[in-house]
Amino acid sequence: MATPRLVGVVGMGLIGGSLARRLVGRGTAVVAWNHRPHPYEQAERDGIRCVATLADLVEAAPDVIVLCNPLKAMPAILAELRPLLDAAPGITLTDVGSVKGMVRDQVEAAGLGERYVGAHPMAGNELSGWTAADPHLYDDALWAITVTDHTDFDRFSAVARLIVDGVGDRLIVLDDDTHDKAAAMISHMPHVVATALINELTDDANRNIAAALAAGSWRDMTRVALTDPDRTRAMVEEDAENVETLLRHMADRLTTVADLLHDERTGVNGDGEAVDVAAWTAMRAFFAEGQPFRDYKARQKAIAGRTASTETDSADMPRYEEREIGFSPDRWQSDLLASARRGEHIVAFEDAYKVRVQRRSAL
Amino acid sequence: MATPRLVGVVGMGLIGGSLARRLVGRGTAVVAWNHRPHPYEQAERDGIRCVATLADLVEAAPDVIVLCNPLKAMPAILAELRPLLDAAPGITLTDVGSVKGMVRDQVEAAGLGERYVGAHPMAGNELSGWTAADPHLYDDALWAITVTDHTDFDRFSAVARLIVDGVGDRLIVLDDDTHDKAAAMISHMPHVVATALINELTDDANRNIAAALAAGSWRDMTRVALTDPDRTRAMVEEDAENVETLLRHMADRLTTVADLLHDERTGVNGDGEAVDVAAWTAMRAFFAEGQPFRDYKARQKAIAGRTASTETDSADMPRYEEREIGFSPDRWQSDLLASARRGEHIVAFEDAYKVRVQRRSAL
């Protein structure tokens, strides 16, 4: 499968608008539709072909359509696309949603599962809408592509090459569940934790005193609790099962430390048994457990520093360990998932079943 | 009690060195001692009188001695000061430690409780040592002063005026327990939470994938877990009882949300009862509970923006509501604690029992 030459973009907000501008700027043609035409005049000047209806979009025969509409508009848009796409079997469908299992369920419910490949770019900022669209949003960005055992390899390949060649980004290949569990780990669950922190302060009789003493650590840990709580709640509920599991893990970890602090302080555990040095040893273990993550962040920082200090020859000096990996035509899903588990990010296709990877996120 | 004219500083690291330079720069004389004399040459050039021994420091007869040494050096320094101070009853003792109950216990164990007033400046950065000392560290900083029912008013007043007039900062007056509970709320407990987050990721079989997807929210919430884990552990253990209580509260909050996510998803609670809309209502309540804190942060941001946009006349335009409050000579501790609970920060002494306050931290 060659790199897509014409890409359809549905929804020209921050993510879709930036993507359309990025693709056109790098030489891939884009046909775009938005539920309201207000971005069209500027977009046409930027070289983006804008169309009045989804029927016109399908008519233009893009290789891939990228759904960049809000998640809540997804069912209506899929219902409208379904009959249009019946006459265009070659068009592959992808999206940019931040929860993959739910989107696939919607796509399959609309009878479009066979042609769908999930995608989620790690890109965004605090802005929204076409006026904030900026091709640099995708600079050095990572995308997660999600597939199932039934995903057609050519459709996967079309989306993957769109990302690597068209957008110029990196990618990892996951199944929906692995993606949604990881998103729960690094975003959805921590949003609940930050919200619980501001609730705990708000409930405190001495809350004005606590707020007075608050410094950088408190500000950093509660920043995400200040963003729109309804949007956060929706995000958490869309990934409910994974967030639930992680919240129970976190509650157990915090209770364990509370018990250790009690045991250290009193010399006796909850069952009245002397704890000797056991509590102190366990407490040291709690603070040592995350050391692989601290070491990983220190390595990342060192690489960033080395890149900054050798700017002139950075093209010749890869910042991360690179290698080529082949994968099986029959087990490409699991081969590429194993690569992602090793912390490798795909940066180029060498041929159909061989990619170049950088070891970017290995703890 | 007038503003101290000569201040003794013990320990010339980041906090003590910055304080000494700040005081001298604003016209208060400083005599300083450090356990090693390496800062002395530069400090003398900055106008700080440096002495070779703690005996010399006491001999210089400062109005107040500020203990800026590391907490672990406190018992030894207090033991050395005790006999020296017996001959100098007028000298008031204060400190800058971040946990107040433990320091007072040490001071009282050394037989110096009668002349002690606790203090904790909300100042610092990621640096340490004399070479990092910077008087601007104290720009617009808040100090907590901690007192007991037995604290001598004149000694309190000497320390308070040193902060307001000498350093040019704000202060609130607390008891040790209120201070240490608030510090547990906004710093010590959140450090444990951040550490639990990186432990949870480190334990995850897909940790490299989670690390790949991590963005701003994860980075902010785990930043404090990257700092020296041994120092964090010591800080948490010094405030063990308060941290234990708050960790149990947080565990309960996270478990509650986990239960609600379960109930929403299944329509049935843990006892097998239909939950109807109750779970959804409770989930909305969880995300609404911290709204007073969000509103407070929004007001702070608006005030900061207004100040920035009217820089030229900011001296005439108070950024925060100001008023004078009087307090009772007999109940000054509880009167000033009540003021702190209202979110008021003391910015000036009008006379012995009347202060000017700004309403800075009212949720």
Residue A127: its pLDDT value, please? Answer: 81
Question: If contacts are CB pairs under 8 Å, which of residues 79-118 in chain B contact chain A?
Answer: none
Rounded CA separation A228/A288 (Å): 35
CA nearest neighbour of A82 among A49, A106, A60: A106
Contacts of A360 in chain B (CB under 8 A): 212
Residue A269: its pLDDT value, please? Answer: 86
Which string of DSSP letters, residue by residue, matches A198-256? HHHHHH-TTHHHHHHH--HHHHHHHGGGGS-HHHHHHHHHHTHHHHHHHHHHHHHHHHH
Q: Which amino acid is at B125?
A: N
- Number of cross-chain residue pairs from A and B with Cβ atoms under 8 Å apart: 323
Which string of DSSP letters, residue by residue, matches B166-196? II--EEEEE-HHHHHHHHIIIIIHHHHHHHH
Residue A146: its pLDDT value, please? Answer: 98
Contacts of B200 in chain A (CB under 8 A): 185, 246, 249-250, 253
Q: Are B212 and A343 in contact (CB < 8 Å)?
A: yes
Q: Does B277 touch chain A (CB under 8 A)?
A: no
Dump pLDDT digits (tens) for B178-226. 999 999 999 999 999 999 999 999 999 999 999 999 988 999 999 999 9
Q: Are A362 and B144 in contact (CB < 8 Å)?
A: no
- The contacts of residue A281 (CB under 8 Å, 6+ apart) are none
Only one residue has tokens 């309804």, namely A230
Average pLDDT, integer, range A221-238 = 93
Whether the pLDDT of residue A310 is over 90: the answer is no
Q: Are A193 and B294 in contact (CB < 8 Å)?
A: no
Phi (first) and psi of residue B36, to 5 degrees: -130, 145
Which string of DSSP letters, residue by residue, matches B110-141? TT-GGGB-EEEES---S--SGGG--GGGGTT-
Whether the pLDDT of residue B317 is over 60: the answer is no
Percentage of residues in chain A having pLDDT higher than 70: 96
In chain A, the domains with their CATH numbers are 6-174 (3.40.50.720), 180-257 (1.10.3660.10)
What is the 8-class DSSP label of residue A185? Answer: I
| CB nearest B213 (choices: A186, A196, A287) | A186
Whether the pLDDT of residue A104 is over 70: the answer is yes
CA nearest neighbour of B94 among B3, B159, B190, B182: B159
Contacts of B360 in chain A (CB under 8 A): 212
CA B307 to chain centre: 25
Looking at the DSSP assignment, which residues form a beta bridge with residue A49?
A: A31
Question: If contacts are CB pairs under 8 Å, which of residues 198-217 in chain B contact chain A?
Answer: 198-215, 217
Å between A278 CA and nearest CA of chain B: 15
Å between B119 CA and nearest CA of chain A: 12
Average pLDDT, integer, range B219-242 = 94
Lowest pLDDT segment from A222-231, B293-302, B315-324 = B315-324
| CB nearest B206 (choices: A182, A215, A362) | A182
| CB nearest B202 (choices: A195, A214, A293) | A293
Collapse the DSSP code of B357 into the 3-class scheme (helix H, G, I; strand E, B; otherwise coil) and give the result.
strand
**pLDDT band at A312, cuts 50/70/90?**
low
Only one residue has tokens 């000017």, namely B356
Q: Does A218 touch chain B (CB under 8 A)?
A: yes
- Chain A residue with CA closest to B177: the answer is A206
**pLDDT band at B291, cuts 50/70/90?**
very high
Dump pLDDT digits (tens) for A108-140. 999 999 999 999 999 887 788 999 999 999 999
Residue B269: its pLDDT value, please? Answer: 86
Contacts of B254 in chain A (CB under 8 A): 192-193, 196, 247-248, 250-251, 254
Q: Are B244 and A264 in contact (CB < 8 Å)?
A: no
Å between A352 CA and nearest CA of chain B: 24
Residue B308: its pLDDT value, please? Answer: 63
Identify the residue among A293, A334, A339, A359 best suited for mutation to test binding to B, counting B beta carbons within 10 A and taking the highest. A293
Q: Is the dihedral of CA B213, B217, B220, B222 positive or negative?
A: negative
Tally of CB atoms within 10 A around B89: 9
| CB nearest A212 (choices: B172, B252, B288) | B172
Phi (first) and psi of residue B219, to 5 degrees: -60, -45
Cα torsion B312, B316, B320, B323 to 10°: value is 170
Tokens (6 digits) for A51 = 């169309």
Residue-averaged pLDDT of chain B: 94
Whether the pLDDT of residue B58 is over 90: the answer is yes
Rounded CA separation B142/B345 (Å): 8
Whether the pLDDT of residue A313 is over 60: the answer is no
Residue A275: its pLDDT value, please? Answer: 85
Residue A125: its pLDDT value, please? Answer: 77
Looking at the DSSP assignment, which residues form a beta bridge with residue A37?
A: none
Q: Are A287 and B195 in contact (CB < 8 Å)?
A: yes
Residue-averaged pLDDT of chain A: 94
Residue B312: its pLDDT value, please? Answer: 52
Dump pLDDT digits (tens) for A238-273. 999 999 999 999 999 999 999 999 999 998 888 888
Residue B165 Cα distances to A103, B162, B171, B325, angstroms: 62, 6, 11, 18
Contacts of A200 in chain B (CB under 8 A): 185, 246, 249-250, 253
Rounded CA separation B48/A277 (Å): 46
Rounded CA separation B83/A327 (Å): 77
Contacts of B201 in chain A (CB under 8 A): 185-186, 290, 293
> End-to-end distance of chain A based on CA atoms, in angstroms?
33
- The contacts of residue A302 (CB under 8 Å, 6+ apart) are none
Lowest pLDDT segment from A48-52, B205-209, B272-276 = B272-276
Q: Are B208 and A340 in contact (CB < 8 Å)?
A: yes
Q: Is the dihedral of CA B152, B157, B158, B160 positive or negative?
A: positive
Outline where DSSP puts E strands in A116-176.
118-121, 142-146, 170-174
Whether the pLDDT of residue B314 is over 70: the answer is no
**CA R_g for chain B:** 24
Q: Are B240 and A196 in contact (CB < 8 Å)?
A: no
Cα torsion B266, B267, B272, B278 to 10°: value is 130
Q: Which amino acid is at B116?
A: Y
Collapse the DSSP code of A222 into the 3-class scheme (helix H, G, I; strand E, B; otherwise coil) and give the result.
helix
Residue A309: its pLDDT value, please? Answer: 60
Dump pLDDT digits (tens) for A172-188. 999 999 999 999 999 99
Collapse the DSSP code of A170 into the 3-class scheme (helix H, G, I; strand E, B; otherwise coil) and give the result.
strand
Cα torsion B276, B282, B283, B289 to 10°: value is 160
Residue A315: its pLDDT value, please? Answer: 53
Contacts of A193 in chain B (CB under 8 A): 193, 197, 221, 250, 254
Contacts of B140 in chain A (CB under 8 A): none
Q: Are A233 and B264 in contact (CB < 8 Å)?
A: no
Tally of CB atoms within 10 A around B47: 13
Q: Does B145 touch chain A (CB under 8 A)?
A: no
Rounded CA separation B322/B319 (Å): 9
Question: If contacts are CB pairs under 8 Å, which of residues 293-322 in chain B contact chain A?
Answer: 293-294, 296-297
Q: Are A199 and B142 in contact (CB < 8 Å)?
A: no
**pLDDT band at A75, cuts 50/70/90?**
very high
Average pLDDT, integer, range B343-356 = 96
| CB nearest A286 (choices: B172, B195, B361) | B195
| CB nearest B195 (choices: A172, A252, A290) | A290
Helices (H), A66-183: 74-86, 100-109, 153-161, 176-183
| CB nearest A198 (choices: B124, B248, B293) | B293
CA nearest neighbour of A192 among B259, B328, B108, B321: B259
| CB nearest B211 (choices: A178, A203, A363) | A363
**pLDDT band at A316, cuts 50/70/90?**
low
Dump pLDDT digits (tens) for B62-101. 999 999 999 889 999 999 999 999 999 999 999 999 999 9
Are A246 and B200 spatial neighbours (Cβ–Cβ below 8 Å)? yes
Dump pLDDT digits (tens) for A267-309. 888 888 888 789 999 999 999 999 999 999 999 989 887 766 6
Rounded CA separation B194/B173 (Å): 29
Q: What is the ipTM of this complex?
A: 0.94
Are B84 and B54 spatial neighbours (Cβ–Cβ below 8 Å)? yes
Rounded CA separation B64/A94 (Å): 70
The interaxial angle of helices B240-266 and A229-238, nearest 10 deg, is: 60
Q: Is A6 exposed, middle or buried (0-12, 13-18, 19+ CB in 10 A)?
A: middle
Rounded CA separation A76/A53 (Å): 14
Helices (H), chain B: 14-25, 40-45, 54-59, 74-86, 100-109, 153-161, 176-183, 189-203, 207-213, 216-222, 229-238, 240-266, 278-288, 291-309, 332-341
Question: If contacts are CB pairs under 8 Å, which of residues 21-60 in chain B contact chain A?
Answer: none
Strands A6-10 and A29-33: parallel
CA nearest neighbour of B326 among B299, B353, B306: B353
Only one residue has tokens 């008519």, namely A59
* DSSP H or E run through A324: strand A322-326
Contacts of B231 in chain A (CB under 8 A): none
Å between B282 CA and nearest CA of chain A: 12
Contacts of B195 in chain A (CB under 8 A): 286-287, 290
Are B339 and B300 spatial neighbours (Cβ–Cβ below 8 Å)? no
Average pLDDT, integer, range B131-160 = 97
Average pLDDT, integer, range B125-148 = 93
Looking at the DSSP assignment, which residues form a beta bridge with residue A116?
A: A93
Residue A296: its pLDDT value, please? Answer: 96
Q: Are B218 and A292 in contact (CB < 8 Å)?
A: no
Q: Are A217 and B193 in contact (CB < 8 Å)?
A: no
Tokens (6 digits) for B100 = 């107040």
* DSSP H or E run through A304: helix A291-309
Residue A74: its pLDDT value, please? Answer: 96
Lowest pLDDT segment from A34-48, A217-231, A306-320, B226-240 = A306-320
Tokens (6 digits) for B88 = 């100098």
Whether the pLDDT of residue A318 is over 60: the answer is no
Residue A311: its pLDDT value, please? Answer: 52
Q: Does B234 touch chain A (CB under 8 A)?
A: no
Identify the residue among B170, B241, B250 best suited for mutation to test binding to A, counting A beta carbons within 10 A and taking the highest. B250
